[in-house]
């Protein structure tokens, strides 16, 4: 009888432990994961200190946005920068200083890929569709009364941009009617003569794709030592139906994205965005006129078509 009683007690205790474990596992499963976030470089140099964060409603993307959204509304909404990464990497870990700096000047940046970590990213490549998902998401959260972004996003002012492979992804998506502006960084379409130089898995639109561009476009290149220089400049010289310019700073393919606050590239990128998405007339002076601001910056050169000079 004592043996039977002991076994019964042991069984009951084991059952309680098992039930408790199951209960704990269900509790853990029911709790939503905490999205990652980090303040980078004290929020950037702009007037709206930014934060880099995940949003659970948008998988495989990273958001850069002002920390205080209370100053933004229907009359003062956030223009949008949609970003694609170099090497088709599915994380903006090589560009986060640059993107954070842009956000600090009053933009919401929706970057393809997972939240950056110190050890970089090792995983599957990103896709062209992720930029489309970014635009779909800003439309969704801007219309959602329960979203912190409700009526705070400027859907009429969306720039799509990307570096290297991300630039190819941008050109692949260039016909999307939601796009107000394009920025192609260290990139350009391959032609039949050099297509074999492309990394496997990159989107490979033909040069005819350039005819689908319907918005102003800037090429932001790293000079003649940039492996994408030839492709980007060839693109620029083919574009005559929309305002276009090609800017070069002699740093090669890597740009200045990893420099403090994104370095020189962030200065020119912000001028392009501020001019076209915010109507900043001072920013326009960086690009227009024979003695434009970019031509005065040490090391920089700019080429532009006639339509750019007439652009408002």
- Beta strand pairing call for 78-84 and 108-112: parallel
Question: Is the pLDDT at 106 greater than 80, yes or no?
Answer: yes
Q: Residue 160: pLDDT above 70?
A: yes
Task: Say if residue 25's pLDDT is above 80.
Answer: no
Q: What is the model's pLDDT at position 17?
A: 37
Whole-angstrom Cα Rg for the chain = 24
Q: What is the pLDDT of residue 123?
A: 84
Residue 127: closest CA among 95, 166, 92, 163? 166
Identify which of 193, 60, 45, 27 has the alpha carbon closest to the alpha carbon of residue 106: 45
pLDDT of residue 117: 85
pLDDT at position 122: 78
Token pair in block for residue 88: 């088709």
pLDDT the model gives residue 29: 55
Per DSSP, the three-state class of 115 is: coil
Contact 63, 96 (CB under 8 A): no
Contact yes or no for 131/82 (Cβ under 8 A):
yes
Q: Is the dihedral of CA 294, 296, 302, 303 positive or negative?
A: positive
What confidence score (pLDDT) does residue 195 get? 60
Instruction: Tell me if the domain spanning 35-310 has CATH number 3.30.70.60.
Output: no
Q: Are 48 and 64 in contact (CB under 8 A)?
A: no
Give the residue extent of every domain in the chain. Answer: 1-31, 35-310
> Which residue's entry shows tokens 């007339």?
281
Length of the chain equals 312
Check whether 192 has a pLDDT greater than 90.
no
What count of Cα atoms within 13 Å lies in the side-chain half-sphere of residue 210? 25
Burial (CB count within 10 angstroms: exposed 0-12, middle 13-18, buried 19+), residue 31: exposed
DSSP 74: S
d(CA 266, CA 34): 30
């Amino acid at each position: 009888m004592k043996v039977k009683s002991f076994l019964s007690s042991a069984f009951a205790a084991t059952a309680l432990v098992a039930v408790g474990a199951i209960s704990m596992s269900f509790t853990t499963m029911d709790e939503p994961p905490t999205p990652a976030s980090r303040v980078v470089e004290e929020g950037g140099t702009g007037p709206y200190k930014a934060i880099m964060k995940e949003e659970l409603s948008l998988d495989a993307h990273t958001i850069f946005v002002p920390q205080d959204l209370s100053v933004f509304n229907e009359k003062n909404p956030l223009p949008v920068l949609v970003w694609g990464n170099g090497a088709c990497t599915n994380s903006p870990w090589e560009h986060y200083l640059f993107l954070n700096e842009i956000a600090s000047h009053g933009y919401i940046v929706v970057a393809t890929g997972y939240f950056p970590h110190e050890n970089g990213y090792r995983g599957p490549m990103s896709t062209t569709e992720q930029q489309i998902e970014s635009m779909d998401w800003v439309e969704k959260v801007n219309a959602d009364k329960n979203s912190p972004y409700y009526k705070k996003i400027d859907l009429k002012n969306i720039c799509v941009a990307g570096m290297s492979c991300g630039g190819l992804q941008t050109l692949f998506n260039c016909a999307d009617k939601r796009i107000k502006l394009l920025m192609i960084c260290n990139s350009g379409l391959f032609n039949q003569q050099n297509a074999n130089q492309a990394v496997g898995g990159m989107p490979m639109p033909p040069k005819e794709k350039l005819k689908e561009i319907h918005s102003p476009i800037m090429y932001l290149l790293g000079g003649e030592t940039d492996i994408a220089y030839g492709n980007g400049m060839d693109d620029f010289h083919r574009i005559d139906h929309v305002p276009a310019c090609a800017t070069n700073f002699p740093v090669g393919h890597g740009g200045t994205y990893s420099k403090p606050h994104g370095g020189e590239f962030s200065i020119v990128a912000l001028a392009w965005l501020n001019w076209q998405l915010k109507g900043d007339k001072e920013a326009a002076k960086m690009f227009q006129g024979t003695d434009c601001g970019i031509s005065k910056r040490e090391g920089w050169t700019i080429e532009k078509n006639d339509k750019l000079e007439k652009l408002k």
